[in-house]
Structure 1
Amino acid sequence: MASRLRPATLGDAPAVTALLNEIDTIEIGRPETDLHTVEADLKNPDIDLARDSWLAFEGDRLVAYGLLWDESGSERIDVDHYVLPDRQEAGERVLDALEVRALEKARENGAERAVVHLHLNVQPTLDTGLVAARGWEVVRRYHVLRRPLDRARDTRPEAPAGVRVRACATEADRERVHALYQAGFAAHFDFQPREYGQWLNDIGAEGLDWSTVWIVGTDDLGDAGFLLARDDREAMGWIRSIGVLPEARGRGLGGFLLRHAFAAFAARGRGEVGLGVDTANSTGAPRLYGRNGMTVHYAVDTWEITLG
């Protein structure tokens, strides 16, 4: 049966969530996509759903989904793509639409070409042979890590001498976390500078429990790092990002923040916590996470294509 495409609407969020969880179960062994996460994607003010989203149906069954967004305002475009393993024709139709729109969007930004990134599980439901044949190639690998938690073991760590930590409690604190994020991640692969309002949207600030965001400081440097976590995922507690200013690295601040978050999640009754990390991260983050008991849950590749 030939597939048909149409744009997504917010009302499609439950069907998209069900599709992504079916794919999660195939790729990583269990469903880990929450409805509110899909809704946040579809509500993103930077996305025009009529032009930047695609649902592929066979009859009444949703079999593939694509979404495109632009944080660079230039040539860098990001896309998501999901397809059931036995529906590759529908997946190709969504890829066609994604590529056409990515180049169009980059040219709307004034760029001559589009450099497009797509994140796929290392063993995805999408046939990577089809992707490679179109000119996509893997440029980066990420690991999603996880760690079991235990309330008795994971207690709040004692701060090192001259170090203090506080919860992100005020608007000024939020602005400070944004500044620390921009400075701490500026040299990272695929970093895109974001203004404060854009960043708030990126992290889903409207639904974020800010008591799971912390700022760490030292007597000599002042505020020097942060950890931004979420406790709204059904599968596990989630550490979205952790960053320390370059001049403060090597002083144990990252590990202290990590253990502080473990204790907070354990106290909330969580049995597991996870995070994602670039395996080529040059700051030593993968080693830090390993030393603190985190192990690989699954791996994700960044695929890239240049169009134009």
Structure 2
Amino acid sequence: APLLARLLERVAERAAERGLPALTARAGVYAPEARWAGELAEAGFTRIKRYIRMSRSLADLPAEPAPPPGVTVRPLRADDENDLRLFHRIYDTAFRDTPDHDPLDFEQWRDLLPSYGKVWDEWLLAEVDGEPAGALQSSDQALDQDRGWVRTLSVLPAYRRRGVGAALLRRAFAVYAAKGRAGAGLGVDLANPTAPVTLYRSVGLVEEHWADMYERSVPASRV
């Protein structure tokens, strides 16, 4: 497509202006943009990942079942720095084996917290036999859709496949429902090796739509 070709030319020019050998160009494709996906492939782009958005209604939310033996879930104490440090440690450790994780130290992470909203009572911590095991971070990004939103779900490797993630999600849904929210949702990066889509389906979440990310390296050139 002429516009795509011109954009790639501009990326090549920008690489040269910056003294770089190349720049990486990225583009998104949303269902059902099959033609756009084809144009990107013809232009040398490669699909690198797929994101899906999942959601469920809270109108028919069943009673929250008891967590598995030894698993406990509680709200984060947002005014307790030790709790915040614990939450950060669980989150940072759990996501270290994901490709796009950008590690932040505690101070950097804490500085970002206001951007996620003030739904602190919707942030949760889980323990297994008294040991820290998982954490769930909510955000207020979907309040305009009357939804609770799970921003991150973190389970430490030693405690995966023990019902911790499901217990955190079910408690979050119960908290959202108690506030009168109509639904709950989250986004999933399928390139994440720990993305537990089966877990999400097991707690009633269903795929809503998807988006693919494409990229290609554009060598520098002067026009």
Superposition TM-score, scaled by structure 1 size: 0.59
Query: Is this contact kept in 2: 1:103–1:114, CA < 8 A?
Result: no
Query: Is this contact kept in 1: 2:47–2:212, CA < 8 A?
Result: yes
Partner SS, residue 213 of structure 2: strand
Matches within 5 A, 1:276-295: 276-283=187-194, 285-295=196-206
Q: Distance in 2 between matches of 1:202 and 1:102?
A: 30
Query: Is this contact kept in 2: 1:117–1:303, CA < 8 A?
Result: yes
What amino acid sits opposite 1:161 in the alignment?
A: P
Q: 1:99 to 1:271 in 2, by over 3 A?
A: farther
Corresponding residue for 1:223? 132
Q: 1:240 to 1:174 in 2, by over 3 A?
A: same
Are 1:120 and 2:12 an aligned pair?
no
Matches within 5 A, 1:142-181: 142-150=51-59, 153-169=61-77, 170-181=80-91
Corresponding residue for 2:170? 259
Provide, for residues 147-199 of structure 1, a one-character-per-residue CA deviation record: whole Å limited to 9, x for no partner. Answer: 1112x634444233222222222233222222211111111132222233443
Which structure has more RCO (C-alpha within 8 Å, separation ≥ 6)? 2
Give percent identity, aligned residues only: 31
Partner SS, residue 255 of structure 1: helix
Deviation at 1:275, TM superposition (A): 0.8
Unaligned 5+ residue runs, structure 1? Answer: 1-87
Provide, for residues 98-131 of structure 1, a one-character-per-residue CA deviation record: whole Å limited to 9, x for no partner. Answer: 6765787795xxxx54445444323349933443
Query: Is this contact kept in 1: 2:54–2:205, CA < 8 A?
Result: yes
Q: Give me the CA root mean square deviation.
A: 3.2
Q: 1:122 to 1:291 in 2, by over 3 A?
A: same
Corresponding residue for 1:210? 120
Of 137-146 and 271-280, deviating more is: 271-280
Q: 1:126 to 1:189 in 2, by over 3 A?
A: farther
Matches within 5 A, 1:236-275: 236-275=147-186
Query: Is this contact kept in 1: 2:74–2:125, CA < 8 A?
Result: yes
Deviation at 1:226, TM superposition (A): 0.6
Superposition TM-score, scaled by structure 2 size: 0.79
Q: Distance in 1 between matches of 2:2 and 2:34?
A: 12
Unaligned 5+ residue runs, structure 2? Answer: none
Q: Distance in 2 between matches of 1:99 and 1:268?
A: 51
What amino acid sits opposite 1:216 in the alignment?
A: A
What amino acid sits opposite 2:100 in the alignment?
A: D
Partner SS, residue 256 of structure 1: helix
Partner SS, residue 127 of structure 1: helix
Of 128-137 and 180-189, deviating more is: 128-137
Corresponding residue for 1:303? 214
The number of residue pairs the alignment matches comes to: 215
Partner SS, residue 124 of structure 2: strand
Q: 1:241 to 1:117 in 2, by over 3 A?
A: farther
Q: Distance in 2 between matches of 1:146 and 1:106?
A: 45
Corresponding residue for 1:193? 103
